[in-house]
Structure 1
């Protein structure tokens, strides 16, 4: 797949390596929801972006929205718990996250969902990961971002103050507590010229 990432702009062209998770910063939200943030957890993020863009079997989906079927505005690929991840560093990231959050989550991260945002027209609408246990239980979703920066929005279900968080190459955000049940998140479309981005979402078993 041909992509237009200008990696040199982001200073993430070195060797692939994961940093320490000790620098995670927790931001409380409300109703027991929180997010943990760690910029630049992965070094060499541009190299990972290029490898994933070429090697992952990306596919487009169509979904029913009210009375019509529409194109999902991003490319997708899902790796179940028995699937080999496309790059060893992703397996290492999943293991590191499972170890770090073992006392809170009490189970490992098992799956990886990948989304390819090709440009500013690709997006994901407001939602919570409530397919499966996320609709009734506190859980965690960890997102590693590579490629061009995009903005993650979060807001309480039912309305309230929107939290904006820029996610750059190699950045990690973990949504935990009641976040999937009591808050929503989105990657909005933008008319600004932005490059492509890939997000890798690690989840426990039974959470989508």
Structure 2
């Protein structure tokens, strides 16, 4: 895509492999929401970034905003249920997450949405993944980040203190409980010079 990642700075010689989810750490938020964070869950993430950046059929979308149509400030690709994922480690990651969270979630993660943030001007505004079931039910969204670090910001819906989590280089964050209904999250634009980042969002059936 023409956006190179300086992999030599981030351990590009490591084999691509998942760590144990037993080290994940939970933070209780409010209104029944929580997040789990595990830095560096995926080792050798530079190789995965390079593969996804080159081989995923990225789409540049446009959406209506007020009285005009604007470009979505990131590239997207969605893999529905039963679609082959673009790298075997993502299939392994989805299975590991499904097994680890089975008691709480009660179902497997089934879909994968990929977002490519090419530079600091690519972003996503405040939102919750509350289309479909996420609007009325507790659910989970697990995000694996590869590439350069960007901040994912969370705040209570309706206003309140925000929380910032730097994510990249194989980091994992899982948003659970009521998080998609009662909190919002965003990747803000930044004027800092930042490299490209790809996020992979694993979701259960009927959650977008």
TM-score category, normalised to shorter length: over 0.9
Question: Distance between the aligned counterparts of 1:117 and 1:168, measured in 2?
Answer: 11
**Shift in Å at residue 73 of structure 1?**
0.1
Question: Distance between the aligned counterparts of 1:198 and 1:13, measured in 2?
Answer: 19
Cross-structure match for 1:8: 8
Unpaired stretches in structure 2, ≥5 consecutive residues: none
Contact map agreement 1:49 1:147 (CA 8 A) in 2: yes
Cross-structure match for 2:141: 141
Query: Which whole-Å deviations, capped at 9, do the CAs of 1:21-64 have from their partners, x for residues lacking one?
Result: 00000001000000000000000100000000011000100011
SS in 2 for 1:22: helix
TM-score by length of 2: 0.98
Cross-structure match for 2:159: 159
Unpaired stretches in structure 1, ≥5 consecutive residues: none
Query: Which whole-Å deviations, capped at 9, do the CAs of 1:114-141 have from their partners, x for residues lacking one?
Result: 0000000000000000111001000000
Cross-structure match for 2:109: 109
Contact map agreement 2:49 2:198 (CA 8 A) in 1: yes
Contact map agreement 1:12 1:43 (CA 8 A) in 2: no
Cross-structure match for 1:17: 17
Cross-structure match for 1:72: 72
Question: Distance between the aligned counterparts of 1:7 and 1:154, measured in 2?
Answer: 28
**Shift in Å at residue 12 of structure 1?**
4.5
Question: Distance between the aligned counterparts of 1:2 and 1:120, measured in 2?
Answer: 15
Off by >6 Å, runs of 4+ in structure 1: none
Give the number of equivalent residue pairs.
208
